[in-house]
Structure 1
Amino acid sequence: MTTFSSLLLILSYICNLPHLANAFFPPIPSIGSPILTKGGAVAYHRQTTLLRQSSSDSESSNTKQPHIVILGGGFGGINTALTLPTLPWSDKCIQPKITLIDKSERFVFLPLLYELCVEDASIDEVAPTFKSLLRDGKLPTFPGLSNLSGLIGASSANDDTDEISFIRAKVEGIDVNNQQVVVSHQSSNNVETIQYDALVIATGAEISLDGVPGASELALPFYTVEQCLELKRRLALLDSYLEKRARNGDETPVNIVVIGGGYSGVELALNLVDRLGNRDDNVHVTLVHRGKQVLQCATEHNRNTGIDRLKSAGVNVITSTSIVEVTPLDKDQGNRCLVKLQCLNNSTENGITSLDTSLLLWTAGATPTSSQNKGIRNSILSRDIMGRILTSPTLNVPEYPTVFAVGDCSRPKKEPYPGTAQVAIQMATVAAWNIYATLVNNNAKSGESLKLLPFTYLSLGEMITLGRNDATISTLGGIELSGAGASWLRRLIYAVRMPTDRQRLSAAVDGTTRKLARGALEAGQRKSKPVDWK
């Protein structure tokens, strides 16, 4: 397979991911067969075969409209919601009512939070409102295919998403025996009980600071759009402080400490260095990681590239070290604190050091059941030690077959899947089909039933931002790329992976415009020379 064909294959998979198992792609030159995502669209032929087998004995549909409730609007939740209306409900079961519940009003495209933080992306690109996404969500069309719904006989009426409603509320508990969800509305503080016929739990994970004294009061997690905007505010204050320092000749060190050496920690540290520039040699960025090596789960290419960029950017990397305590230092500088570190290779007092920190950022310790997600834990569903819901390979709970879990809060096998967007998106495709099959089977009057599909994850590779104009990519097919070209490709791929067509177009235009404008500005700065008026 040529590099070009491999790249087309990756883009085809990525284009397919946000949609249902009914989507497929025409043959790619040198491959010669339709491209189907293994996580969901591989079900296409099996799905259509089942529909053909059951079409001859189709029964009249149940008059009761089923209600599907989705908890959490991350990658798993929003893609499940947008996929469900595209299924051929009229064959065996009428179109369901779909309710998406999330405590925030915005969907967050987490991989682009770094761009939002350094003002390289707009909030509408990175965090569109759920209402806008559900309004814009439509069944996609592709060249040569008049409508994908024709592939499976779905009605063109599915082009709108009127059957999907959004409720901004916090989950207080789940009663699986009575098929009810209890939520509290943030606007009115009213508590409501919502009945469901099928439930999808897609509440993701959040960073927990409860295990380190002082961390919840003094550290800023980096996981939500609100936290990202708060970091932007603090960086603006830091800009003013650095300008004042420069005027006064102050050379006191300013330390920014990032906790966690995984993908998020490395990406955040390098984007901060890029954002701050080289205007003050006394500003230092330190990355603290509990493991022996940063980017431990990354591919070899991405890990080596990331480590190389950390070194060249001057980031101080401390590994095999845990955080013991965080204490405040100066009330006049509200963010300033002392971070006490313990070297894991030296448990004595000699292994304890402290960092005077002006800004403490936290990317480690994401868990599905943090203190902010207590209501999700308020159920009798079986979980692992990290709080992930134990499911069957078909993503539903064995004891409660109409309850599904996708994304970071789901564990369908012994070894958990990576907590990444592509896992959640692929799970959403399979979960949507299995919800459809479950409800159809429950309404079926004959012995014929649709099969539920087991989830199989296909890793498409990984992309890491290393700054405003730098990234590293390793993909399925062996493509490895880093530098400015990788940064452009990463932004393009993420634009394609947005949940709706309008959001894809907006992200592609916004990202391209910003990169072109920055490139022109940097080129102008390189060409400009000071004028000697003498």
Structure 2
Amino acid sequence: MRLSHLIAISYIALAEGFLSKISQQIPSGGLTDFALHGTATTTNINTCDVAIFGGGFGGLYSALSLSREAQKKGKKLDIAIVDPSTQFVFLPLLYDLTVGTATSAEVCPTYKDILKGTGVRHIQASLDCFTSDDFQSATLFLCNHNNEISNNSTKLELSFRSSILAVGSSPESTLASVPGATENVQPFYTQKDAKETSRILEDLEDQAIGSMPKTSPPKIAIVGGGYGGVELAACIKRRIPESKVRLLTRGPPMKGTRAEQLVDKALLKLGVEVELSSVQEITKGEEGNDIFVKRKLVNAGDDDNDEENDKISKEPWSVVFWTAGAGPSSPVSGDMDGLLKSDSGRLAVESTLRCISNNQQSSASSSFPKRNSVWALGDCAEILVNKEYAGVVVPATPKTAQAAMQQADIVAQNVLAELTVNSEAASKEFQYQDLGTMLSLGGPNAAVMAPIEESPLAPVFKPLLDTARLGFGFADEAFVNLSKSPLVATLGLSPVVDSIETLGLSLGGYGLGVDSDTSPGTLSGTLTGAARRALYAVRMPTNKQRATAAASAAISTAAALAKEAAQNLEKQQQ
């Protein structure tokens, strides 16, 4: 066993033990218990006050907010989250989990742990369909221990006063539109995807560093140039530097965002290739090992690229990851009889996030006397703004965890008002507030972007990040100059300096190739990576999970860096 693996195993064992102690000692959520072991006081498992379908950011945070606000008002609500999994997944850290800089305890806590003492119960099942015209009952399919529905799955009829649809999105419909994609790519959207991706990367890493019979370096294609594609590409290239990693994207990565210039330089520094192309078909080679991606280059002004397109389509790949595009998950992806859907296939909702019925007629003066009691948020919903519902959509709310968490508070307040005050109570309208964005750039490095210019917070955060970037940039330059000084060698610090440079560590982005005077409204580097993990820890759903995340961020990142440093040392000694 290699030294790098021994170091990694030691750190992981330390992390698991430490995090286990934290989990046992820290209270869950700060809510007074009025339920035992996460199960609300109820006389019938087939009924509840509020059924929440989907346990992602939108669903879980709606449940916790609703429970918290109900308790403040002295109300007891029976709230049920219906989700086929036993674990919540903090999706922004899925990349970190895949490459080993985050632990399962941090990224995938169980609903049992999260919901303890909140008055919210978890039903491990999937929504099949609503079964009444008033949308107050539904059929569920109970899931087995593998979080799956089988042909003989038990059905459960659930009745409720109000429901929230937060089933999220999945890539199935997008993959189905590209011949061969469903069978031959590895999607990257769920915890299951992350586990399979991690297994694939372990095999490719062994191949790259020579523990398996010597072959050519692994070739990895990633379809999609948005946040998901960029973060996955950076993390994979950082973990397996010998590999060839290429982003296949229709436009420049992160096009139109503050991060576009920064990401371009960071990917170049990491050695990630970027190809502007559209994927047409994905096939497997005759021997079943290589994967071929038929694609068409996106070159404005070129009328005939057939020869070049044919050439690149014959290039073999070890694996193809898919992060490009997703549609609403089941059952929203199918027929939602009685509920209006937008052109994108998502549920059409009012600005209050209440679902719009197919037969709902309204005008500017309408009081909506027959509104349904169904609400929707997150990736499966889209807001329609005009009172005639002619298909005019609000400027798209980002399909991000940040947006879903903001929507969760609005939905919780509106549902609580309807159930505890009266059905005609004034509802709060959702307005997305851009708080800025963060993304991983591999290992301990990350980037933070200020809100868009139209945001009222932009005048505050943009100059703050610009000032920090310039200051840290000067510090990085000072370090570079100091590292060249003869004093470093005299004091025996050369190995330390070499390790810092090899690991790409920096305050202001120097290690990522990012200049201090470019990319306004952004900040990148190792310190930014630490800030990203700290901010995500704060946004965890419970106090217990926040403490676990904070400890995990420190320990697992240290373990990953130690492993990487050991691997670099081994290479130097070969």
Distance of aligned partners of 1:207 and 1:490 in 2 relative to their CA distance in 1, 3 Å threshold: same
Structure 1 residue aligned with 2:444: 469
Equivalent residue for 1:164, pick from 120, 127, 132: 120
Contact 2:208 2:217 in 1 (8 A): no
508-517 or 200-209, which deviates more: 508-517
Letter in 1 for 2:325: G
Are 1:120 and 2:79 matched, yes or no?
Answer: no
Are 1:232 and 2:213 matched, yes or no?
Answer: no
Equivalent residue for 1:507, pick from 549, 555, 574: 549
Structure 2 residue aligned with 1:363: 323
Equivalent residue for 1:316, pick from 259, 267, 273: 273
Structure 1 residue aligned with 2:157: 193
User: What are the Cα deviations for residues 20-77 of structure 1, in whole angstroms up to 9, with x where unaligned?
Assistant: 9xxxxxxxxxxxxxxxxxxxxxxxxxxxxxxxxxxxxxxxxxxxx9610001111110
SS of structure 2 residue aligned to 1:472: strand
**Alpha-carbon distance in structure 1 between the residues aligned to 2:226 and 2:161:** 39
Equivalent residue for 1:342, pick from 283, 296, 300: 296
Structure 2 residue aligned with 1:32: none
- Superposed, which structure 2 residues align to 1:371-450 within 5 Å? 373=331, 377-399=335-357, 400-413=371-384, 414=393, 415-442=395-422, 450=425
Once the 2 structures are TM-superposed, how far is the Cα of residue 416 of structure 1 from its aligned partner? 2.1
225-234 or 467-476, which deviates more: 467-476
- Superposed, which structure 2 residues align to 1:229-378 within 5 Å? 229-244=195-210, 248=214, 250=215, 252=216, 254-277=218-241, 280=242, 283-290=243-250, 292-299=251-258, 302-319=259-276, 321-331=277-287, 333=289, 336-345=290-299, 349-350=306-307, 352=309, 353-354=312-313, 355-369=315-329, 373=331, 377-378=335-336
Are 1:98 and 2:70 matched, yes or no?
Answer: no
Distance of aligned partners of 1:77 and 1:216 in 2 relative to their CA distance in 1, 3 Å threshold: same
**Alpha-carbon distance in structure 1 between the residues aligned to 2:571 and 2:229:** 38
Letter in 2 for 1:316: E
Once the 2 structures are TM-superposed, how far is the Cα of residue 377 of structure 1 from its aligned partner? 4.2
Once the 2 structures are TM-superposed, how far is the Cα of residue 513 of structure 1 from its aligned partner? 2.1
**Alpha-carbon distance in structure 2 between the residues aligned to 1:328 and 1:483:** 39
Equivalent residue for 1:72, pick from 46, 54, 58: 54
Distance of aligned partners of 1:398 and 1:214 in 2 relative to their CA distance in 1, 3 Å threshold: closer
**Alpha-carbon distance in structure 2 between the residues aligned to 1:386 and 1:530:** 53
Are 1:218 and 2:184 matched, yes or no?
Answer: yes
Once the 2 structures are TM-superposed, how far is the Cα of residue 241 of structure 1 from its aligned partner? 2.8
Contact 1:176 1:379 in 2 (8 A): no
Distance of aligned partners of 1:95 and 1:71 in 2 relative to their CA distance in 1, 3 Å threshold: same
Once the 2 structures are TM-superposed, how far is the Cα of residue 174 of structure 1 from its aligned partner? 2.4
Once the 2 structures are TM-superposed, how far is the Cα of residue 469 of structure 1 from its aligned partner? 1.6
Once the 2 structures are TM-superposed, how far is the Cα of residue 451 of structure 1 from its aligned partner? 2.3
Once the 2 structures are TM-superposed, how far is the Cα of residue 380 of structure 1 from its aligned partner? 2.4
Structure 2 residue aligned with 1:481: 523
Contact 1:68 1:196 in 2 (8 A): yes
Structure 2 residue aligned with 1:174: 130
Equivalent residue for 2:141, pick from 176, 184, 187: 184
Letter in 2 for 1:325: E
User: What are the Cα deviations for residues 365-421 of structure 1, in whole angstroms up to 9, with x where unaligned?
Assistant: 11114xx54676443211112222111111112444411111111212412200011
96-105 or 520-529, which deviates more: 520-529
Once the 2 structures are TM-superposed, how far is the Cα of residue 431 of structure 1 from its aligned partner? 0.4
**Alpha-carbon distance in structure 1 between the residues aligned to 2:222 and 2:194:** 14
Distance of aligned partners of 1:529 and 1:403 in 2 relative to their CA distance in 1, 3 Å threshold: closer
Once the 2 structures are TM-superposed, how far is the Cα of residue 342 of structure 1 from its aligned partner? 1.2
TM-score w.r.t. length of structure 2: 0.69
Structure 2 residue aligned with 1:84: 66
**Alpha-carbon distance in structure 2 between the residues aligned to 1:216 and 1:313:** 29
Equivalent residue for 1:456, pick from 417, 426, 431: 431
Aligned residues: 424
CA RMSD of superposed structures (Å): 2.8
Distance of aligned partners of 1:221 and 1:171 in 2 relative to their CA distance in 1, 3 Å threshold: same
Letter in 2 for 1:380: G
Q: Unaligned 5+ residue runs, structure 2?
A: 1-28, 31-46, 145-151, 358-370, 385-392, 451-456, 466-521
User: What are the Cα deviations for residues 223-280 of structure 1, in whole angstroms up to 9, with x where unaligned?
Assistant: 00001000111112223333558754x4x35310000000000000010001113xx4
Letter in 1 for 2:404: A
User: What are the Cα deviations for residues 85-126 of structure 1, in whole angstroms up to 9, with x where unaligned?
Assistant: 1224696x9412101011222111111011111011111211
Distance of aligned partners of 1:430 and 1:513 in 2 relative to their CA distance in 1, 3 Å threshold: same
User: What are the Cα deviations for residues 263-303 of structure 1, in whole angstroms up to 9, with x where unaligned?
Assistant: 000000010001113xx4xx31010012x22102532xx22
Distance of aligned partners of 1:347 and 1:431 in 2 relative to their CA distance in 1, 3 Å threshold: farther
SS of structure 2 residue aligned to 1:382: coil
Structure 2 residue aligned with 1:9: none
**Alpha-carbon distance in structure 2 between the residues aligned to 1:467 and 1:525:** 16
SS of structure 1 residue aligned to 2:87: coil
**Alpha-carbon distance in structure 2 between the residues aligned to 1:529 and 1:235:** 19
Contact 1:173 1:377 in 2 (8 A): no
Once the 2 structures are TM-superposed, how far is the Cα of residue 363 of structure 1 from its aligned partner? 0.2
SS of structure 1 residue aligned to 2:51: strand
**Alpha-carbon distance in structure 1 between the residues aligned to 2:230 and 2:411:** 32
Contact 2:83 2:124 in 1 (8 A): yes
Structure 2 residue aligned with 1:446: none
**Alpha-carbon distance in structure 1 between the residues aligned to 2:177 and 2:567:** 47
Distance of aligned partners of 1:66 and 1:118 in 2 relative to their CA distance in 1, 3 Å threshold: closer
Contact 1:326 1:340 in 2 (8 A): yes
Once the 2 structures are TM-superposed, how far is the Cα of residue 450 of structure 1 from its aligned partner? 3.9
TM-score w.r.t. length of structure 1: 0.74
**Alpha-carbon distance in structure 2 between the residues aligned to 1:223 and 1:210:** 16
**Alpha-carbon distance in structure 1 between the residues aligned to 2:153 and 2:48:** 27
Letter in 2 for 1:364: A
Once the 2 structures are TM-superposed, how far is the Cα of residue 488 of structure 1 from its aligned partner? 0.4
- Superposed, which structure 2 residues align to 1:21-170 within 5 Å? 67-88=49-70, 94-135=75-116, 160-161=117-118, 163-170=119-126
User: What are the Cα deviations for residues 195-221 of structure 1, in whole angstroms up to 9, with x where unaligned?
Assistant: 111110011111131011111001000
**Alpha-carbon distance in structure 2 between the residues aligned to 1:429 and 1:234:** 38
Q: Unaligned 5+ residue runs, structure 1?
A: 1-18, 21-64, 136-159, 444-448
**Alpha-carbon distance in structure 1 between the residues aligned to 2:417 and 2:337:** 25
**Alpha-carbon distance in structure 2 between the residues aligned to 1:241 and 1:375:** 40
**Alpha-carbon distance in structure 2 between the residues aligned to 1:451 and 1:228:** 42
Once the 2 structures are TM-superposed, how far is the Cα of residue 518 of structure 1 from its aligned partner? 5.0
